[in-house]
Amino acid sequence: MSGGLLVAGTTSDAGKSVVTAGICRWLRRRGVRVAPFKAQNMSNNSAVVVGPDGRGGELGRAQAMQAAACGLAPDLRFNPVLLKPGSDHASQVVLLGEAVDTVTAGNFHTLRPRLAATAYAALAELRSEYDVVICEGAGSPAEINLRAGDYVNLGLARQAGLPTVVVGDIDRGGVFASMFGTVALLDAADQALVAGFVINKFRGDLGLLRPGLDMLRQVTGRPTYGVLPWALDLWLDAEDSLAYGRVLGRPAAPRGTEWLDVAVVRLPRISNATDVEALATEPGVRVRLTVEPAELAAADLVVLPGSKSTVADLTWLRETGLADAVRAHAAAGRPLLGICGGFQMLARAVHDEVESRRGSVPGLGLLPVEITFDERKTVRRAAGTAAGDVPVHGYEIHHGRVSAADPGLPPLLRHADGTGEGARLGAVYGTHWHGTFESDGFRRRFLTEVAGAAGRTGFKVAPDTSFAAARERTLDLLGDLVEEHLDTDALWRLIESGPPPGLPFVPPGAPETR
């Protein structure tokens, strides 16, 4: 078979990514060869895939998570178009894993045909190779100002003949209005593809919800395929850092007598914020995102994460007083870690004629290195060791490189060939490698060292925490939620047979999209 389904949403962060992953895991359990797909993703959280030619490429992290739900290695075709915002007005275009251009409101119409053609071709290839492809939409399909150029929501569904379910987040309120309004703002051809709804993040008595579900069916002619409950444990592999609350996950009680407090600066253009998720899986480690200088003073470890706009975010650090707070934290001998763009900010100077085109600007001066931006982006998997013998793996996505460093400055990590990576000076650490804390041994060694430097002698790492197992438990939970709370027989009929015939038109509708 060559079945398919589009999971759309009433809004961004309605739950499209997790519902897609849950359906993928459910289908995999049934023995179906299933793959995920998102035609276009806008996110600075990405994963690295090594292609057949040995070169690294990027795709949205949510699609890498969905691939794991399918039991697959990530494939660049799962997310053929990735837009990485560098400002409020421009995004880097990553096409099948490679940065090829910059898109703005002004030039999108000229780029769109190429992006759409690439997305359609990738989906066609996947449908020829897999039994089922579960597609995730972006934002809302009722963004009528964007419908004419759409190739990720109902533009994709119409081109590929995909039945569509619309996910709504009831926790935000107004879910019935948003679901009805989504259908009613579509033209007749698009409405004919929308088969029904899924309600997400429900807390309460389902009996009290039932009258609303019945009325929604009466006014739209479409069923609700199920109601997914609120699940506190669904926080790993966030597509967007805005999906995080102030504290990541649900910190387990410490194994020792003390907690370790980690403050992560929520940069305006934060990228790969998922780096710190592995820290949050450790018992006794409280990880919070903050923009408050006062909160850095109380932290045991401060993390400057990755950034899609290093120089702009460095300027923001200075304007908000956070730069002074970071320096004060380091001056007190308390641990400070910079990852990728955050590492670059710790340098003496940043020379950037590529990303910001600001030329040479002073860094925070906390590590005796200089950073120079190259036109070609480094995108690759990485593996090596830390502290001489601790295996560590990760990935790199950056334009900046260390172009100068003081002689004898010790590296934080070493590549497999023995060359150094990153730097450390006292309790200040920096690396271009993302994902290192997913290596359980390195994470434990690092936290033990950090706790000592912070004076948290009562903190003890757990010897049995496995980040890979935590991720797998999340995927299994998603599969369980789909099996227990959605009408999987009805979903299977959609996937197998396509949009149901005779779905009613809901007025007023939009003008026909051509």
Q: What confidence tier does 384 reach under pLDDT thresholds 50, 70, 90? A: very high
Q: Which of 4-18, 96-110, 162-176, 287-301 has the lowest mean pLDDT?
A: 96-110
Q: Counting runs of H as helices and runs of E as strands, what totals does the chain give? A: 15, 26
pLDDT at 101: 85
Residue 320's alpha-carbon distances to 265, 268, 272, 317, 325, in angstroms, are: 11, 12, 22, 5, 10
β pairing state of 306-307 and 270-271: antiparallel
Give, in degrees to the nearest 5, the angle at Cα 21 between 18 and 22: 85
Q: How far is CA 100 from the centre of its chain?
A: 21
Q: What is the pLDDT of residues 247-291, one digit of tens each?
A: 777 788 999 999 999 999 999 999 888 899 899 999 999 999 999
- pLDDT over 70 percentage in the chain: 97
pLDDT at 240: 56
Active-site choice (70, 329, 340, 351): 340
pLDDT at 455: 94
Q: How far is CA 379 from the centre of its chain?
A: 17
148/187 Cα distance (integer angstroms): 11
211/209 Cα distance (integer angstroms): 6
Dihedral through CA 275, CA 281, CA 285, CA 288, nearest 10? 50
pLDDT at 5: 97
Average pLDDT of the residues in 29-35: 96
Average pLDDT of the residues in 309-329: 96
Q: What confidence tier does 89 reach under pLDDT thresholds 50, 70, 90? A: confident
Q: What confidence tier does 241 reach under pLDDT thresholds 50, 70, 90? A: low
Q: What is the pLDDT of residues 438-467, one digit of tens each?
A: 999 999 999 999 999 999 999 999 999 999
In the predicted structure, residue 372 carries a pLDDT above the cut 60: yes
Q: Is 398 a catalytic residue?
A: no
Active-site choice (351, 399, 434, 485): 434
217/206 Cα distance (integer angstroms): 16
Report the chain's C-alpha Rg in angstroms: 24
Average pLDDT of the residues in 204-214: 93
Q: Is 415 a catalytic residue?
A: no
* Closest C-alpha to 16, from 134, 136, 135, 132: 136
